[in-house]
Structure 1
Amino acid sequence: MSDPMPVFDDLREESEELDRLVAELSPQEWSLATPASRWSIAHQIAHLSWTDNSALLAVTDPDGFRTLVEKALGAPDSFVDEGAEEGAHLPPAELLSRWRDGRTALDRALRGAPRSARFPWYGPPMSAASMATARLMETWAHGQDIADTLGVVRTPTDRLRHVARIGVRARDYAFGIRGLEVPGEEFRVELLPPSGHDLWTYGPEDAPQRVTGPALDFCLLVTQRAHRADLAVRAEGPDADRWLDIAQAFAGPPGAGRPPKGDAA
């Protein structure tokens, strides 16, 4: 990325939008159950706060972050949930303040980082721009859980281009993490952005297998915030079709995803 500042700005705007959604919630609303199993709204914000602080540690104290990774390796199935659980028990005002302070500090650290620098993470090392892109994806996805819980329909923005890009780039990971053979050829992906302007396109124009649809629906799919059956994303080709069943934009084991709306009962 030649100029990382736009993604830093987009991350800040995405966080501020979510902040406005939760800032005036009552203590009872903070405890509402979200679509993520066993997670309340407080858990969702606590997780974002915890991960922002992990990213800040990676950027400012790589040795300290490696110690954190060692703890994660010792409890791979519970480490993330434990971080969310700890923060979720804070009073809402304190949790909100902690999230705000952490993301502000991370924003400052990312903007001040050398463009050539690579920082340790739970997967491959990441640049400041990649770190911000990953944080934006998570902020948007967990914000979707909160919006769904509150019955709020958010207006999608072209900030989703960052989420879509991660989703496309994570294609091979989604196959590999399930022990499936990775397709040997690229797919063509064509997405209609929320603005309705030029398509977002990825992969060769003449690729025999392709995925098309609204960018919002694709982002909901790859973050596993909606079931494929409820989205207007379409595939051409057997491997592309399989991908839409397993796509994930996040690191870690395969997620459980969301059931089709017809199965909600």
Structure 2
Amino acid sequence: MLHTTPRRTPPCPCPEGSAIVSDPSSVIDDLREESEEVDRLVAGLGPGEWGLATPAAGWSVAHQVGHLAWTDRSALLAVTDAAGFQGLVEQALAAPHTFVDEGAEEYARLAPAELLARWREGRAALEKGLRSAPPGTRFPWYGPPMSAASMATARLMETWAHGLDIADAIGVPRPPTDRLRHVAWLGVRTRDFAYGAHGLTPPADPFRVELVAPGGERWAYGPAGAPQRVTGPALDFCLLVTQRAHRADLALTAEGPDADRWLDVAQAFAGPPGGGRPPKGEAEDGPGRPPKGETGDGPGRTP
């Protein structure tokens, strides 16, 4: 689930009128809120409900929470023990296509109460580590080092995406919030990585991305006059870059061949290209159904 193809760094994709985040407090706050919302989804589940199947083939609710706990543990080690984290990198390199599933399975075997307790303890420790990190610190990851803000953004992206899988499994809707701005930012930021993950050369010029936020305001990235453009609801864009929905089911519009190609390959998560989700109405075991571990379940690396 690792991908280390070198890629260019695109221009700042921050929304118009905003600046690059130097103080990670706001995204860490949002990560805590996102985690607490997912926590409320599972806290009252009965033992049998933890075994419900989720849209990620082969993964139950327990696997989804287990994956979050496992990745939080990895992130905590990166933040507090760089040498120890190197051992995890070596394990990943030794089994790049299975180590994510193995991590989720390790936690999914725990009793639900213990699994939930471990996730809570791990994410609290990670939050403490990120908040106490000296400004400018960069932590090792399964790719380029990450700042505290980037680490928190990656964790929020995964928490939101896996929380959607859990909500689907238990039949509970999850209304979008403005916390999606972090996922959208990451989706834009990883444009060149997505091209590289598919063996494609990234376009030389930045795109314009204009998204309608859950509250109705506009989130815009890139030069206003860029000929290659993507527009649509922010929720749909976030579903696309986390591979939680098929492009055919989303109200996203691409102008220009490069932008159109991007929407076919976009991914904001680490690792090789996932199989994605099939279009609505397609058989669960039909073409396009991804194997487990290939639905955005990577460690959430950001460039």
Q: TM-score, normalised by structure 2?
A: 0.86
Is the Cα contact below 8 Å between 2:137 and 2:147 reproduced in 1?
A: yes
Unaligned runs of 5+ in 1: none
Q: How does 1:26-175 map to 2 (within 5 A)?
A: 26-175=46-195
- What is the distance in 1 between the residues matched to 2:22 and 2:150? 12
- What is the distance in 1 between the residues matched to 2:23 and 2:129? 16
Q: Which moved more, 1:174-183 or 1:38-47?
A: 174-183
Please report how far the alpha carbon of residue 2 of structure 1 lies from its aligned counterpart in structure 2 after TM superposition.
Answer: 2.5
- Aligned residues with identical type, % of pairs: 74
Question: Could you say which residue in structure 1 is the equivalent of 2:254?
Answer: 235
Q: Which amino acid aligns with 1:79?
A: F
Name the SS for the 2:145 alignment partner. coil
Match of 1:176 among 184, 196, 207: 196
Please report how far the alpha carbon of residue 208 of structure 1 lies from its aligned counterpart in structure 2 after TM superposition.
Answer: 0.4
Q: Deviation above 3 Å: which 4+ runs of structure 1?
A: none
Please report how far the alpha carbon of residue 196 of structure 1 lies from its aligned counterpart in structure 2 after TM superposition.
Answer: 1.1
Question: Could you say which residue in structure 2 is the equivalent of 1:253?
Answer: 272
Match of 1:3 among 23, 40, 44: 23
Please report how far the alpha carbon of residue 262 of structure 1 lies from its aligned counterpart in structure 2 after TM superposition.
Answer: 2.3
Is the Cα contact below 8 Å between 2:22 and 2:149 reproduced in 1?
A: no
Name the SS for the 2:146 alignment partner. coil
Unaligned runs of 5+ in 2: 1-20, 285-303
Please report how far the alpha carbon of residue 98 of structure 1 lies from its aligned counterpart in structure 2 after TM superposition.
Answer: 0.4
Q: Which amino acid aligns with 1:259?
A: P
Q: Which amino acid aligns with 2:277?
A: R
Name the SS for the 1:261 alignment partner. coil
Q: Which amino acid aligns with 1:188?
A: R
Is the Cα contact below 8 Å between 2:209 and 2:230 reproduced in 1?
A: yes
- What is the distance in 2 between the residues matched to 1:140 and 1:264? 25
Is the Cα contact below 8 Å between 2:191 and 2:266 reproduced in 1?
A: yes
Is the Cα contact below 8 Å between 2:228 and 2:256 reproduced in 1?
A: yes
Question: Could you say which residue in structure 1 is the equivalent of 2:210?
Answer: 190
- What is the distance in 2 between the residues matched to 1:52 and 1:15? 11
Q: How many residue pairs end up in the alignment?
A: 264
Q: How does 1:19-30 map to 2 (within 5 A)?
A: 19-30=39-50
Please report how far the alpha carbon of residue 264 of structure 1 lies from its aligned counterpart in structure 2 after TM superposition.
Answer: 3.5
Aligned-residue Cα RMSD (Å) equals: 0.8
- What is the distance in 2 between the residues matched to 1:3 and 1:99? 25
Match of 1:222 among 205, 217, 241: 241
- What is the distance in 1 between the residues matched to 2:174 and 2:54? 16
Alignment pair present for 1:206 and 2:225? yes
Q: Which amino acid aligns with 2:255?
A: E
Please report how far the alpha carbon of residue 152 of structure 1 lies from its aligned counterpart in structure 2 after TM superposition.
Answer: 1.5
- What is the distance in 2 between the residues matched to 1:37 and 1:109? 33
Larger % of helix: which? 1
